[in-house]
Structure 1
Amino acid sequence: MSYSYDQWKERVTQRSDLSSSLVHLTRSATIEGKEHSAVDVLIKILKEGKLIGSNPRKGFITGNRSAVCFQDAPLSSIAENIAFENKHYEGRNRYSGCGLIFSKYLVHAKGGRPVIYDKPSEAKKYITDQNEHWRIVSFDLSNTKNMVDWMHEREWRLPGDMAFDLKNTAVLIDKRDSYREFIAKCNELKDPNILENICGLVVLAGLLM
């Protein structure tokens, strides 16, 4: 069944378990020997207007192409995912609740696609083009003591980097302190005017009150 854009938006917005947006989460990082908070990293990305794809040699990307990663889930579900990670994987800096929100339509138009969950060895049998292996995410429930399942993220990926305009970008902030840090640091900037140009801002902690 096919939809017009408006029908598609209506279909998605009437389901609490679906979303018309994709979320890219950031985290704190060490850049040139200096520690930067997740908010610092977020502002750096917004100033540059580009998401840099994860290196397949350093991350969980299959194949030889870098890719930008997104989650296709309602914000309430993303908040729950992050709370679970923080509780069960304390000390592992996988991602924070700070990030960027984009229209699924926009990411698809730029080449983003849903990932394919399977054992990489099996997926490569039917995805024979090595240039498409960036879509493969490991999935294996065969060993009950070592189960691999990332399907809760409903991941999308986009090969390479992704340039974006602030006007098409909403900002996700994890908590009140980070929100205040973000506002203060944005107000210190003269160009670009991030707060004036982004299309929205959401504080994730408010969804789990």
Structure 2
Amino acid sequence: MSDYLVHLTRNEHILKQILSTGKLKCDKPFGFRRFRLQKEVRERHRSVCFSEIPLDQLGRLYTKKGYYGIGFSKKVLKEKGATRVWHIEYNSPQAMAIQNLAELASKQNDYSAPIWNLTPFVDPIIPGTFDWAHEREWRAQGDLTFSLNNVAFLITPSSITESLSAMHIFDDWQDLELRVAAPSPLLGEILNETIEEFYNRFCNPIHILPTDHGEYVWHVREWSTEDALYTLFPDINDTIFDKLATFLNTESTSWVEI
């Protein structure tokens, strides 16, 4: 149906945070409703969700999921452990088999049983109450880390925007309501905001330190660009870190904490 998997979110701030940290954080537990809240296996059910829905059908998800998003190729996310969610009929023989195996493992306090590798990726369909099969959902257990080179495209309310590493994947999608634009202004905004935050804490020593025979007199700590960035942004995406370090080193390789 699609070569891409999409994670949607509700506002631009969250999308910027995802891009700047290179991390999609798992939130609540997902999977087989009977067991996902059980304390012994709850963490195993905490996952990041994606949709395989065709890109021209994304409008079906906006109201529930949000108007901002990030897209990856299936190949990239498969390598990171993502897999399809299995939607099965409630009280079907398949659902009852999974429930019975999980109940047996739970009664025996066997929380290393193989069934617990399955329950995070199974959702029973309850007609009229719970039926999200149309989302064609995939999940990855735990937090998902990525580099910007892993990102195929970004989604905003006005466009699908090719990311830094994206090829011309939408050449055949000119009739879409969402239009393609490149490069992403969001990435530029993230860099500008991060640089401004850096300048609020560190400054070029040429503006503040005394000199002696052309050499700085270091009566305060000397910070390298890299050490200053690591201290200020410990969770920053590696790709953005490299771009910031390259930019700042053109101004100075040493910094003073204001």
Equivalent in the alignment of 2:79: 109
Instruction: Give the superposition deviation at 1:95.
Output: 2.0
Higher radius of gyration, 1 or 2: 2
What is the distance in 1 between the residues matched to 2:148 and 2:188? 18
**Higher mean Cα deviation, 159-168 or 73-82?**
73-82
Instruction: Give the superposition deviation at 1:189.
Output: 3.0
Q: Provide structure 2 residue ranges, at least 5 long, that are not aligned to the other structure.
A: 37-41, 102-114, 160-180, 196-235, 244-258
1:96-116 Cα deviation digits (max 9, x unpaired): 120110010111111111101
Q: How does 1:164-203 map to 2 (within 5 A)?
A: 164-169=146-151, 170-175=153-158, 182=186, 185-186=189-190, 187-190=192-195
Q: Secondary structure at the match of 1:138?
A: strand
Instruction: Give the superposition deviation at 1:119.
Output: 4.4
CA RMSD across the alignment: 2.9
Are the counterparts in 2 of residues 120 and 136 from structure 1 also a CA contact under 8 Å?
A: no
Q: How does 1:1-209 map to 2 (within 5 A)?
A: 18-27=1-10, 38-56=11-29, 60-62=30-32, 63=36, 64=42, 65-82=45-62, 85=63, 94-119=64-89, 122=92, 123=95, 125-126=97-98, 128=101, 129-141=115-127, 146-169=128-151, 170-175=153-158, 182=186, 185-186=189-190, 187-190=192-195
Instruction: Give the superposition deviation at 1:121.
Output: 5.7
Q: For the structure 1 residues 175 and 138, does the alpha-carbon distance in structure 2 shift closer, same or farther, using more than 3 Å as the test?
A: farther
Q: Provide structure 1 residue ranges, at least 5 long, that are not aligned to the other structure.
A: 1-17, 28-37, 86-93, 198-209
Q: Tell me which amino acid in the other structure corresponds to 1:151.
A: A
Q: For the structure 1 residues 138 and 49, does the alpha-carbon distance in structure 2 shift closer, same or farther, using more than 3 Å as the test?
A: same
Instruction: Give the superposition deviation at 1:70.
Output: 0.3
1:31-74 Cα deviation digits (max 9, x unpaired): xxxxxxx1000010111111111222xxx543222111000022
Q: Which has the higher contact order (CA 8 A, sep 6+)?
A: 1
What is the distance in 1 between the residues matched to 2:186 and 2:51? 22
1:97-146 Cα deviation digits (max 9, x unpaired): 201100101111111111010246653624741232110123133xxxx2
Are the counterparts in 1 of residues 6 and 69 from structure 2 also a CA contact under 8 Å?
A: yes
- Give TM-score, length-normalised by structure 1: 0.61
What is the distance in 2 between the residues matched to 1:79 and 1:137? 23
Instruction: Give the superposition deviation at 1:163.
Output: 0.6
Runs of 4+ in 1 over 2 A off after TM superposition: 60-64, 79-82, 119-124, 179-194
- Give TM-score, length-normalised by structure 2: 0.50
The percentage of counterpart residues that share the same residue type is: 30
**Higher mean Cα deviation, 121-130 or 65-74?**
121-130
